[in-house]
Amino acid sequence: MKILRDYLIIFLSIGILSALLFNNVILPLYVNWNDEIRVPSLTHTNLVQADQILKERKLEWTIKDTIFRRDIPSGFIMDQHPEAGQMVKENRKIQLTVSLPPAKLEMPDLIAITERQATIALDRLGLILGEVLTDSSDLYQKTVVMDQSIASGLPVAPGDSITLTVSLGKRNLKKTMPELLNKGLNEAKKVLEKNGFTLGQVKYTQNSELLPNTVVSQSVTSGKIFPRERGVTVDLLITDGF
């Protein structure tokens, strides 16, 4: 039993000496080798934790850049320079990239850009694309944003939901050929232009029952329907006044 007790005492003594050696010699050499300090890993910690870790090693920190991410809590460290494990001098400032919301946000102008471009712009600011409405438009091409729920320049905050209205393209607009018979030439021309048509050739015919320059025939029948964007020319037959 005495021999066993002696062995236990010896092992305990060796363990204590090893612990003291590690804490007082090996660890200081690892952390502070040749008057240099090994940079700790700070990523995925917050600023409070990083400040405490660096103070223990006589290092300082500064914010190099900020990035806003909805999936990362505010104040968390996303990157550092120098990297963990490098040796630096005492009081060296470690540059940190931290997740922080922007100090101030203004709603961007999304009108006249594509839905994809608008989605990217919103995501960069931490704004959420909510409902996407659609409507026809003669002004904006298909897939282009034509309206936004919050006007550009107004204050917004990360996490706000934005509704966009996206163009389906031109409406299926129609135009109808007007009735020109018995109208004077000048009046007929104005009616054609008002309805999206163009006056073509004008020919004359004798008709003693009607006033001069009165339309007696038109090359396109009244009531005929055309697409709004289609160019249509109408020839007229009018009285010559004899």
Model confidence pLDDT, tens digit, residues 40-62: 999 989 999 999 999 999 999 99
| 151 has a pLDDT exceeding 80 | yes
Tell me the average pLDDT across 119-131: 91
Tell me the average pLDDT across 18-44: 67
pLDDT tens track for 192-219? 999 999 999 999 998 888 899 999 999 9
| 96 has a pLDDT exceeding 80 | yes
φ and ψ at residue 198, rounded to 5 degrees: -120, 135
Which one has a higher pLDDT value, 228 or 114?
114
Tell me the average pLDDT across 71-79: 86
Q: Where in the chain is the domain with CATH 3.30.10.20?
A: 2-99, 115-167, 174-239
| 234 has a pLDDT exceeding 90 | yes
Q: Which of the listed CATH numbers 3.20.20.70, 3.30.930.10, 3.40.50.300, 3.30.10.20 matches domain 174-239?
A: 3.30.10.20
CATH architecture of 115-167: 2-Layer Sandwich (3.30)
CATH code of the domain occupying 2-99: 3.30.10.20
Model-level pTM?
0.38
| 169 has a pLDDT exceeding 90 | no
| Alpha-carbon torsion angle 152, 154, 158, 160, nearest 10 | -80
- Cα–Cα distances in angstroms (integers) from residue 167 to residues 113, 175, 180, 227, in the given order: 11, 22, 36, 19
Q: Which of 7-21, 103-117, 128-142, 183-197 has the lowest mean pLDDT?
A: 7-21
